[in-house]
Each structure stands twice: as C-alpha cells, then as structure tokens.
Copies of this chain bind each other. A is one copy, B any other.
Amino acid sequence: MSKVSERQLERYPLYLNHLIALRDSGVTTISSPAIAKALKLSEEQVRKDLQVVTKSEGKPKLGRDINELIDDIKSFLGYTSKKSAAIVGVGHLGGALINYKGFEDFGLNIVCGFDIDSKVVGKSINNKEIYSIYQMANKVEELGIEIAILVVTSEVAQQVANMLVNAGIKAIWNFVPVHLNINSDVVVENINIASSLAILEHKLKTKEIDE
C-alpha cells in the first residue's frame, strides 16, 4: 500500500463530501480541475490525490464516473469495512458521542460504552450498554471491539489507555488533551477540540485588540 501523508489523508473527506453533494444534485461525471476549482486546491494536487485511490482513468473532457470515485475514496479510507468501536468515558462529551448517529457513515459501529461511575454502569444510552471499565478485557474480545473513542478526564487518560492496550484494542481515537505514551503498535490518533477552540478564541481576541 502506497504511503500517503496525513495532510493528504485529511483532504479525502473533503473530496468525498464535495462529490456526494454533487452526485445528490444530479452530477454523474467530474474532472480533477473542476474539483480543484471548487475546493481551492491546485489541479496537480487533486490529480495526484485521486490517482492514489482510484484506478479509473477518466475520459477526456468528461472526467471520471462520480459514483465510482465516491466508492473508491470510501474504500480507501476504510469506511466500507464495518468496525466495532466503544465510547470510553460516558461523561458530557462521551454521552454526546454515544448518541451521535453519524459514525455509521464512517464504517464505525458503536457497540457499547465503558465508565467507572456506578451511576451509569449497567445502564443503556441510545440502546448501548454501559459496562464497567473492569469488564474491558472481556468485552473487547467478546464484542470484537477494534477502536476505542477515549473521552475520559485528563487525570485518568493514560491509565485507561494502558487498560485498553492490555485488553487488545487496535486503535485509540483520543479526544483527551493529553499526550498518551503507548509502547505498542496500537494506532493512536489525537483530536484536540480544546486546541482548535483556543486558536479561534486567540484569533478573535487578537483581532479585537488590533481594531
């Protein structure tokens, strides 16, 4: 499998989104230059990105079949292979995520939640059972959970991550604003909502001072 950079990977959901919107409005074929123009990217970049995911060459003037391209990007990103995932930490954000139905579009099937709080353990949210984190090892195997969506507090994030690694999880999607030390081949991808908000608020503050 050819190596692609993270910057490049970040663009595929943008392509996908744009192509689905076009298809839904009745478009059947699309060219790289048209995509480049709409998304404000260079034609060269779009052409290279698409070559990685699709074997379809596209016809001169007509471009590529839009449905084929959509399927190729989804398959490349792994959205077409269903994977079981669990929400680890069912607090404010975890509780919101366990209710979020959009994950299915990305091939993620949220099968359960884990928490340590006896007030939520044993209950169900959105038809997903909440198990104790001490049942993690059993449940990861029993339910075939591959991906953990980590939304615990900062204080316990490393400890819970270690438990997940020991339980045999394959990937951790980390929403906690801490650096996780994982000495294994478990995939870790960080999404830092707080950092994004910090950038927005700082830009806003700087602008107001400059005015």
Residues of A near any B CB (own CB < 8 A): 1, 4, 6, 9-14, 17-18, 20-21, 24, 39-40, 76-79, 81, 83, 92-93, 95-97, 99-102, 106-108, 146-147, 154-155, 170-171, 173, 177-179, 181, 185, 187, 189-207, 209-210
| A173 with B197: CB separation less than 8 A | yes
**Shortest Cβ distance from residue A206 to the other chain B in the assembled complex, whole angstroms:** 5
Among all A-B residue pairs, the 4 with the closest Cβ atoms: A96-B96, A189-B200, A78-B201, A13-B194
Alpha-carbon distance between A108 and B96 when the two chains are bound, in angstroms: 18
Residue in B14, B171, B173, B189 whose CB lies within 8 Å of A177 = B14
Given contacts A24-B155, A107-B201, 12 further A-B contacts (CB under 8 A): A14-B177, A14-B195, A18-B154, A21-B154, A76-B202, A77-B198, A77-B201, A106-B198, A108-B197, A187-B203, A190-B196, A191-B196
Q: Are A202 and B77 in contact (CB under 8 A)?
A: yes
Do residues B178 and A189 form an inter-chain contact, with CB atoms below 8 A?
no
B199 contacts A83, CB within 8 Å? Answer: no
Q: Is the CB of A17 within 8 A of B100?
A: no
Interchain CB contact under 8 A, B14 and A205: no
